[in-house]
Structure 1
């Protein structure tokens, strides 16, 4: 029973061990298809405790064992207890997870996971394939950044608790960067600062090297007057005031990276290929995004390098479209939307994290950047790919009236049925490496359908 899984990563052993010891490692290694989330990370690999949230309010407690701690060779955690909510997971009997690191040579490390548990290995294999792939990919991106002169910096992030923010902050902190979360409540520790979107404090960004601005109300929903006002109001004014704050900071950032969206190109441009030079399109979202990007102007006028990340349809079962579609397709009830000929410009969540990271690293990058995979597909192709990965049929098309009933006419037109053939021209011209440029590979990684690691 249990499992032994190993792979070789292209990084020195000390570096690999240090990655695991930094904040965010647990978040980066959690498979997105599993119904669990990180509540707290271990303060130390020697004797700390990590707590994961499970469905129904249950808890999985991983206690690190000081008697087995041997840096940079090994650390061990075992299933522990912390109140009644942690008792149900203990019905499996035992769980002891050994993490071993062996230097293959000066630049590579064999990483071995050994889990002693009654749980059969076949139920664990996809988890460890995912973990090892994430580790290797993250280390490779950080190695690329160091090769381009990147050194540990302090990054302030708004929207840090959101879907993208959670992944990005974990990625940055495991890479050795200091992350300051800009929060709207009272700070709980020195890694947080209170941010008032209506009146940012003058010293909010003191000592910060770069800002990543992700905050904004979700655009998903019925396009009522109230919803449209929330979408606009949470973006335009707060972005302008944060950009002004960044420009005025005496010892503040030199880089300002702001979220944006491919909605700028309008909801239907036919088969027109849309790169960053394409004109603004029609619709409510196009107007919002244009004003949102314009709101970063004070930062650029203040001499900061400004990057606006025009994001496509993010692929992860933790949220967004894939989160909604996965249960339907898993039940065999999925199908194309409308005609299925709409262009769908998508991006893997980890590739989006890499785009934000590149915006911080690459001093030659400024202005708008299309954050989409190079392999744009039509909705019908997306449907077939998702059904294939989940091994389910997808023969029940969803008529256009379906999204209209949920989102209203305008919401359906600009969200569910939007068609934008967007290409990441600036990233491709810069030689950017996508982790998962092919849709099927992305869906396999995100949904736990991975093949063997080469």
Structure 2
């Protein structure tokens, strides 16, 4: 049977086709709620091969058909067998996907997906709806940047394999930028350079226009002295060394990750903008030192931005990845009385904020990377349960998180009470893709209903 879906997106046909042909498109279009992960992208749309990882070690191999390649009108891929891991899928599932691009006018294109497969259309609609939203919003974000004079740049990124780094790098490359991944291992390919935080190569940033520094050990975990030391050691000294190197290289912008932990673990009902003072606790002290480590870049005259990140939501990692199976099983619930404020941000809005930090010359210093509508923990619980169509009747007692994180970790992570607003982004006229929690969750969990 054949399935057809379509949507009109902003951009000329040549522009939209080029977006699909660049590295990162496969990653940007992969629905995060599905139990699959992009492992390899096709080197070209004419005859390349892309690979998806499936549960149980299986592989979905999509081989592009040269006979169906007609830029900028069409490209075609079909499921193929390459090795034992891909054999079950290739032999059991018929799949031939024709991607067509129809000119609507000079600035709009109709994207048409025709799939020959026995998989029911109802099982695929949410995937294509997601893909069209991602494509539309990515194209609009790049268009806004271009309208403000932004040009293609070369961006060095640490932490490129993490949740935010993976999404950001794919977003940048599909938008026509060049990404240099700064990695700890031996480089694989021309897009990587080895970064030794203790003794960085003096030429590490040669030819680089801007730096995005995301690397750091996960804060999640039991707050033992060893864990806290590892978290601090992975952030403060490496950030200072990279900022010093950026200053010597004379890059245009140095953008470093930070966290809303700066405001302390409990600020009650206080509304926290970037002008709010530092709070109390381990994370507040850590973040203050972490941000101070960017000083060499700022003192050298580089535009320096520290992105104070809230709770990043994505089914692929972090808080939502942990909570989703519990709520899906009907075992989710608020923490304690649920009155603590929960300052969140969707992954794609997080990407947009880093992108804006790269091109918007009016931004410098701390920028709160949170959605404009923080919610209480009880409201987050209700909305997530509603989106997943499950009850949320089992509140988590206050001592529960302490069993996993320790008393200090539970206080600063699970029970943190921070009502943070993105004041500087608001003043800059920034547009959020998903400003409200329910819209964000429905998008990333495939529950939009079309």
CA-CA distance at 1:199 after TM superposition:
1.1
Question: 1:227-252, CA deviations, whole angstroms, 9 ceiling, x for partnerless residues?
Answer: 00010000000000000011112xx4
Question: 1:10-63, CA deviations, whole angstroms, 9 ceiling, x for partnerless residues?
Answer: 110000000000000000000000111111100010000001111111110000
Matches of 1:84 and 1:436, distance apart in 2: 41
Structure-2 residue corresponding to 1:41: 41
Which secondary structure does the structure 2 equivalent of 1:271 belong to?
strand
Which among 362, 369, 382 is matched to residue 384 of structure 1?
382
Structure-2 residue corresponding to 1:199: 199
Contact 1:254 1:303 in 2 (8 A): no
TM-score (norm 2): 0.99
* Within-5 A mapping of 1:388-399: 388-399=386-397
Contact 1:92 1:118 in 2 (8 A): no
* Within-5 A mapping of 1:274-285: 274-285=272-283
Matches of 1:89 and 1:424, distance apart in 2: 45
Q: Please identify runs of 4+ aligned residues in structure 1 that moved more than 6 A.
A: none
Which among 285, 288, 299 is matched to residue 287 of structure 1?
285
Matches of 1:92 and 1:329, distance apart in 2: 32
Which among 368, 373, 376 is matched to residue 375 of structure 1?
373
Contact 1:79 1:95 in 2 (8 A): yes
**Correspondence 1:405 to 2:403:** yes
CA-CA distance at 1:430 after TM superposition:
0.7
Matches of 2:406 and 2:55, distance apart in 1: 32
Structure-2 residue corresponding to 1:80: 80
Matches of 2:251 and 2:53, distance apart in 1: 35
Structure-2 residue corresponding to 1:310: 308
Structure-1 residue corresponding to 2:415: 417
Which secondary structure does the structure 2 equivalent of 1:43 belong to?
coil
Which secondary structure does the structure 1 equivalent of 2:238 belong to?
helix
Structure-1 residue corresponding to 2:179: 179
Question: 1:279-305, CA deviations, whole angstroms, 9 ceiling, x for partnerless residues?
Answer: 000000000000000000000111110
Structure-2 residue corresponding to 1:98: 98
Structure-2 residue corresponding to 1:451: 449
Rate the CA distance shift 1:353–1:393 in 2: closer, same or farther, 3 A.
same
Which secondary structure does the structure 2 equivalent of 1:87 belong to?
helix
Structure-2 residue corresponding to 1:240: 240
Matches of 1:2 and 1:379, distance apart in 2: 44
**Correspondence 1:161 to 2:161:** yes
* Within-5 A mapping of 1:264-343: 264-343=262-341
Structure-1 residue corresponding to 2:12: 12
Which secondary structure does the structure 1 equivalent of 2:405 belong to?
helix
Which secondary structure does the structure 2 equivalent of 1:434 belong to?
coil
Structure-1 residue corresponding to 2:113: 113
RMSD across aligned positions (CA): 0.7
CA-CA distance at 1:91 after TM superposition:
4.4
Matches of 1:253 and 1:199, distance apart in 2: 19
Mark the runs of 5 or more structure 2 residues left unpaired by the alignment.
none
**Correspondence 1:150 to 2:150:** yes
Which secondary structure does the structure 2 equivalent of 1:333 belong to?
coil
Matches of 2:376 and 2:102, distance apart in 1: 45
How many residues align? The count is: 450
Contact 1:2 1:119 in 2 (8 A): no
Which secondary structure does the structure 1 equivalent of 2:14 belong to?
helix
CA-CA distance at 1:93 after TM superposition:
3.3
